[in-house]
Amino acid sequence: MNADADNQQPTPDADVRALDRLVGTWKVSGEAEGTISFGWLPGGFFLKQDVDLEQFGMHVMGSEIIGREKPFGAEQPSTEITSRFYSNTGDTLDYVYELDGDTLTIWGGEKGSAAYFKGEFSADGNTLTGGWVWPGGGYTSTATRVE
C-alpha cells in the first residue's frame, strides 16, 4: 500500500467541475427578474448559488448548495449531482443537475420529474435561456452574465 496515495487530497470529478460555466453573477429577466450568483466553496466539490428574484409577485431569496452527496461513512459520493435550496419563505427544495453539452437540466426532486428547468447556453457561454416547467404551469427566463 502506498502511504502517499492514501494521504492525497481528493479532487472533484469532471462532471461537477463542468458546472464552472455557471460561476459568476447573472441578471435574470423574463417571467422571473433579479440576480443569481454562483461560486465554488473551498475544495471545489460544491457550488453555491445565491438567489434574489421577483417572480409571481413574490420576492424570493435563498441559497443553494450543488454537488455530489457523500453522507457520513460513505466511501463514494452519489452518482447524481444534487442540490438543496433554502429560501426566505422557509422552503427546502431538492434538485438534480444535469449538464449535457450546452443544455442544462435541473430536475425538481428527482431525475425524470415532471418539474424541471431546461436551458441552453449561448455559444459564448454568457447567456442561459430556458424555462421551468411543472404540471399546470411554468415560466421562461433569460440569465445574462454580468460579472
Q: What is the pLDDT of residues 42-76, one digit of tens each?
A: 999 999 999 999 999 999 999 999 999 999 999 99
- The total number of residues shown for the chain amounts to 147
Q: What is the DSSP code string of 8-59?
A: PPP---HHHHGGGGG-EEEEEEESEEEEEEEEEPTTSS-EEEEEEEEETTEE
pLDDT tens digits along 29-45: 999 999 999 999 999 99
CA distance 60 to 23: 20
Q: Where are the domains of the chain?
A: 14-146
pTM of the model: 0.92
CATH class of 14-146: mainly beta
CB 103 within 8 A of CB 109: no
